[in-house]
Amino acid sequence: MPGNQASAVPQGDIRRRARPESEGDTDQPAATRGRVEEVRRLMWALDSRVEGRTLWEDYESVYNARWHHVMEVPGGEGTGMEVHEGEPPQSWTYKAVGRTLEKDDGVEPSGAPRLRLMVLTLGKKWHYLCRDAITDCYVNCEVDRVWQIVKGDLTELFSSRPEDHFTPHPRLLTGTPGIGKSMAAGSYFLYQLLHYDAELLPVVVFVVCGSEAYVFNKTAETVTRYMDKSMMIKAVKELSRRGMKGYIIYDVGGRLDSPSPFLPPGGWGMLVVATPEKTSYIHWANEKRAVRIIMNCPDESDVKAMCVWMKRNQPPPQQAEYWREVKGRMDKLGPILRYIFDEGSYKYWIAKCHNLVDGTTSWGIQSYSVFGTSKLWEGNNVLEYLARIVRARGERNGESPFNAPITAHLASKTLCKLAQLMTQAEFNLFVSRIRDCLMHANFGKCAMFAFLNVAFMAAIRRKLKELKPPPRRPSHRCAPDVHSQEGPTSHYFLPSAERIGKKTCINHRLLYIPEVENFPLVDGFFFMDSNPMTLVGLRMATAGGHHTTTSTVRQFTECLAAYFNGWEELSRDMSWEIIYVQHADSTPLNDWQRCDVVNSDNVSKKESQKIAAFWEEKVRQYQVSIPSRDV
């Protein structure tokens, strides 16, 4: 075998994938055997001429990686997810949307188990990713979607006529840093490309962090490492000159790294994996007319499935406990896989995020103006710590990035800081850019800022639906609808009870937003100058029920009495209205939200009954669902 001819390669060690005796070359057709030997001779000649370095990893360890998958099972124990061996019987389905693909949820039968994650496992660690070595590659539908797009490019390439000299546009894969573009997407593509028809695609090249490269020769079943990128380029050019087809995965390294203008050669495909804060590759992408692919962050179910896989050898209750820990980190930091699975890594990164916001000055607020746009991240630490990239429809119906807040926790902290530094006009403009994100079902209280936007308030008034208690009272128009020319124009942060100083007078033009996260009853409120005065409470509702208790109402009134002058007298004739604001994707509230009498040390039985009667007879409730397009 060529692997025994060490003298042919002065500076390299190439290993061949182990093959069972039953798969000997004698089983191959004569034409295939001839092609195999031709490519082997070519690769060995190239290795001696371009200084192929010491082999890092066996071809076999990548080619023979093992599959598992995680299914979401309705009514399952613990997390409701189960780990199974092998590839899933049915992967995800996609549909054409514009010039790209999106997951087709409509084909999944209701109530049936759903595929949530595929796991590709090596016997040895995936060291070639230039970061911490891993043994598991997580493949969710976002990762698989990118492969389906690349596979479509290859199908088009190999179905074209030779005389057409067709070359697919290079692809540029980008997304939020730390979500697994290199670790997951790069590894998964390598595995899939190695299993692609070797007669059509005999060579795969993996460039790691823009420096060293691994050339996988599928026909000879070898892998060669090139420590010098220029040597790899020489090898690729020679392979192309000899008529061989290949595919290049190029993982962009430092901020100054960029693919060579000689890549890809004619007839070859190429995927560049890059993060938005590195922009050195942009000139190359423009010159090559590279087509963007935007990879969204993993969703909650994806991360839960990863937790179940990591704790697969533990009982379901322990799996569920680990998931709760990770979810708590993810709710604050976002689904950044690089940091949320380890407490130390999480604390390190969340502290940097908080320090960035806390350290923002009036000189630095311009850095936040790129939220709500598709602008690049180059040199902008604000986006690197506080933003995520969301896939949107761009020019000619292709894919475009959108810079959105990464979590409600960090968005709320950011909004509170900017509200102190910006003028009201600047702040309202900033909110208008990201109002779609703030209205997302997961963004809770920080969506309160959207109520300062005139267009948003107009959308609220058009869609208000009254929730009537039993027995039904006569219909009543909501105060913001009746007094449509009024409403809050600026905001005021209510401090925590420990920081309350002098009481203040009620201001009808202010939107009051509590600073504390556990403020009772509502997420924000304002007052309408009606007769009698109306208190309008705002509650961001994500579920199908938001009942309250008499003790919670009592806590709310105690807070208002501590904040406002003359509250006891003003509140006697005051009308109350509660608006439950929901994203269109949430389960809508249709029924009256009760105020239940519960035993409490802070509220007597008689007072609880009085509060419950007030809620039933005097409080008006309204619900509104807001699609993103309306805000």
Domain presence at residue 5 = yes
Residue with tokens 């188990």: 113
Is residue 472 located within the same domain as residue 410? Answer: no
Domain presence at residue 210 = yes
Domain presence at residue 432 = no
| Reported confidence tier of residue 164, pLDDT bands at 50, 70, 90 | low
* 385 closest CA partner among 433, 332, 430: 332
Q: Name the pTM for this structure.
A: 0.77
Q: State yes or no: pLDDT of 127 exceeds 60.
A: no
**DSSP classification of residue 468:** P
Lowest average pLDDT, out of 130-134, 247-251, 390-394, 444-448, goes to 130-134
Is residue 417 located within the same domain as residue 456? Answer: no
From residue 538, alpha-carbon distances to 4, 46, 414, 591 in Å are 76, 70, 21, 17
Please give the pLDDT value at position 350: 96
| Reported confidence tier of residue 23, pLDDT bands at 50, 70, 90 | very low
Is residue 99 located within the same domain as residue 136? Answer: yes
| Reported confidence tier of residue 441, pLDDT bands at 50, 70, 90 | very low
**Stronger pLDDT, 446 or 98, i.e. the higher one:** 98
pLDDT (tens digit per residue) in 184-203: 888 899 999 999 999 999 99
| Reported confidence tier of residue 208, pLDDT bands at 50, 70, 90 | confident
Is residue 412 located within the same domain as residue 476? Answer: no
Please give the pLDDT value at position 387: 94
Domain presence at residue 444 = no
What is d(CA 222, CA 260) in angstroms, rounded to the nearest whole number? 24
| Reported confidence tier of residue 276, pLDDT bands at 50, 70, 90 | confident
Please give the pLDDT value at position 342: 93
pLDDT (tens digit per residue) in 513-563: 887 878 899 989 999 988 889 999 999 876 666 789 999 999 999 999 999
Is residue 271 located within the same domain as residue 351? Answer: yes
Please give the pLDDT value at position 275: 83
- In this structure, the number of other CB atoms found within 10 A of the CB of residue 548 comes to 18
| Reported confidence tier of residue 423, pLDDT bands at 50, 70, 90 | confident
Give whichever of 21-25, 115-119, 506-510 has the largest mean pLDDT: 115-119
**Cα-trace Rg, the chain:** 30
**Stronger pLDDT, 453 or 17, i.e. the higher one:** 453
Give whichever of 124-138, 430-444, 561-575, 583-597 has the largest mean pLDDT: 561-575
What does the pLDDT average to over 459-481? 82
Tokens of 349: 């990164």
Please give the pLDDT value at position 431: 81
Domain's final residue, options 407, 422, 437: 422
Tokens of 248: 């290049």
What is d(CA 184, CA 119) in angstroms, rounded to the nearest whole number? 9
Domain presence at residue 618 = yes
Is residue 193 located within the same domain as residue 113? Answer: yes
**Stronger pLDDT, 99 or 83, i.e. the higher one:** 83
What does the pLDDT average to over 27-39? 51
Lowest average pLDDT, out of 77-81, 342-346, 626-630, goes to 626-630
Please give the pLDDT value at position 151: 94
- Structurally, how many domains does the chain consist of? 2
Alpha-helical (H) ranges within 531-624 are 550-563, 567-570, 605-618
Please give the pLDDT value at position 126: 57
Q: State yes or no: pLDDT of 163 exceeds 80.
A: no
Is residue 393 located within the same domain as residue 453? Answer: no
| Reported confidence tier of residue 227, pLDDT bands at 50, 70, 90 | confident
Domain presence at residue 427 = no
Domain presence at residue 584 = yes
Is residue 373 located within the same domain as residue 473? Answer: no
Is residue 309 located within the same domain as residue 359? Answer: yes
Domain's final residue, options 406, 422, 438: 422
From residue 43, alpha-carbon distances to 18, 39, 202, 350, 435 in Å are 18, 6, 11, 48, 56
The letter for the amino acid at 415 is L
Domain that holds residue 556: 449-630
Please give the pLDDT value at position 37: 56
Lowest average pLDDT, out of 60-64, 224-228, 394-398, goes to 394-398
| Reported confidence tier of residue 53, pLDDT bands at 50, 70, 90 | very low
Is residue 407 located within the same domain as residue 526? Answer: no
Give whichever of 139-148, 259-268, 378-387, 521-530 has the largest mean pLDDT: 139-148
pLDDT (tens digit per residue) in 554-586: 999 999 999 999 999 988 889 999 999 887 777
Tokens of 536: 């309008």
**Core vs surface per residue 352-382: b (16+ CB within 10 A) or e:** ebeebbeebeeeebebbebbbeeebbeebeb
Q: Per residue, what are the HEC states of 105-169?
A: HHHCCCCCCEEEEEEEECCCCCHHHCCCCCCEEEECHHHHHHHHHHHHHHHHHHHCCHHHCCCCC
Is residue 251 located within the same domain as residue 208? Answer: yes
Give whichever of 216-230, 296-310, 614-628 has the largest mean pLDDT: 296-310
Is residue 43 located within the same domain as residue 145? Answer: yes
Please give the pLDDT value at position 5: 35
Q: State yes or no: pLDDT of 129 exceeds 70.
A: no
Lowest average pLDDT, out of 14-18, 370-374, 567-571, goes to 14-18
Domain presence at residue 165 = yes
Q: Percent of the chain at pLDDT above 90?
A: 39
| Cis peptide bond prior to 264, omega within 30° of 0 | yes
